[in-house]
Copies of this chain bind each other. A is one copy, B any other.
Amino acid sequence: MPSELIELTGHIVDSGTLQRVLDQAIAAGADYVVEEFRLGHNKKDESYARVRIDAPTPATLETVLELITRSGATLVRGEGVELEKAPADGVLPDDFYATTNLPTDILIGGKWVPVANTEMDCAIVVSGGRKRLTARCLRMHRVKKGDLVVVGHAGIRVEPPARLTKERAFEFMASSVSSEKPKHLVIREIAKQMKATHKAGKKILFVGGPAIVHTAAGNHLQALIEKGYVDVLFAGNALAAHDIESNLFGTSLGVSLQSGTAVEHGHEHHLRAINRVRAAGSIAKAVKKRVIRDGIMFACVKKKVPFVLSGSIRDDGPLPDVITDMPEAQDAMRAHLPGVGLALMVGTTLLSIATGNMLSASVKTICVDINPAVVTKLSDRGTFHAIGLVTDAELFLKTLTRELRV
């Protein structure tokens, strides 16, 4: 019977890692024998387990090993990673190792080398000579013919997520996305975390959807930007267009943001707003020419907060600043991620999932949406570390700015 020895180290019981690995083995049709186990005596101690995986077929063994190495198990046999050349530009070797968003090391030349730019669903590409070996995550479309790509699953060590024991409010939310919990406490905690992120010299990324403008909550986001609480903004054509529309015409999608009445000519207004920015050449130029005199995008230009506006198939116009090519837009977003310590995602399913996929598990990720399905989807797609808050984006931003005394 094909078998393999694996080991696990760290907070493997209270983080659920051991349970998860044994589960995955059983679920995939294999069996296990725990050969050695040491449980940490208290919450600070690490635990250790050495487990033999027995599988009915080599294929099942491969499947199990693929799964459990991604969960934190490491092969005991101590072989280094296997490398294979990419067969063509944008094409990986068939058996490439697909990364998680957890800190990862690879064993190469007898040494554990950390992998840079940890990101989910990438390949690991190794470069440099023996002495200056480096490993980094690379997206499929960026790989070049001949790049040395890690294949299989030997020589890979993934650090499983530890329990967060201090951040109680956060932890508590992490277990649930229910709207039936006291959210103002979580909002207070988010405010604290935002301040702590800046104190730690990290950046705050804000990812926002157009509902922020439709609900007349744009001024809250603008205030966050003006007071320095947003270091990068990811949004789409819609948020920017409706923000500019609201400043040019006082409406968003045809609803007056002053009186709340449905003026019903939103499409015209929002098209005209886009048209004027196209005429000016860009958002920054429209600000300079005083076409745009207020609002979220105005604040970004004035405060020099970089923004990435990514296109979408339902865009009108679009605004000249929108990056219409998707891999290009993804790479533009990716370029802003180093240094991000906290990502706040409000009212946008698509951009939340897109951004979540790019973030390292070490980035605090908070996803706010009135629809519980969005948060569920985010987790289903692999952003397990996201804290979901099922609430109203408008009233959330209002409360958050108050907490931050913006």
Contact = CB atoms under 8 A, between A and B. Distances in A.
Given A67-B264, A371-B373, A22 B14 contact: yes
Given A63-B265, A179-B392, A183-B394, 9 more contacts: A26-B43, A88-B279, A91-B278, A98-B271, A169-B261, A311-B325, A318-B326, A318-B327, A324-B326
A380 B90 CA distance: 40
A3 interface: no
Nearest to A279: B91
Give chain A's interface residue range (CB within 8 Å of chain B).
35 or more
17 contacts: A26-B165, A27-B263, A31-B42, A34-B40, A37-B37, A140-B278, A181-B214, A181-B260, A185-B260, A310-B313, A312-B350, A313-B326, A313-B351, A370-B370, A372-B376, A392-B392, A398-B399
B271 A121 contact: yes
A183 B392 CA distance: 10
B39 A37 contact: yes
Interface in A207-238: 211, 214-217, 236
B395 A396 contact: yes
B22 A33 contact: no
A105 interface: no
Nearest to A315: B326
A211 B180 contact: yes
A257 interface: yes
Contacts of A399: 395, 398
A216 B13 contact: no
A216 B182 contact: yes
B255 A182 contact: yes
A21 to B, nearest CB: 10
Nearest to A370: B179
A217 B187 CA distance: 14
A275 B34 CA distance: 37
Contacts of A253: 180, 380
Which of A257, A267, A272, A314 has the largest number of chain B CB atoms within 10 A? A314
Contacts of A184: 216, 394-395, 398
Given A181-B260, A185-B216, A216-B182, A66 B265 contact: yes
A282 B283 CA distance: 37
A282 to B, nearest CB: 13
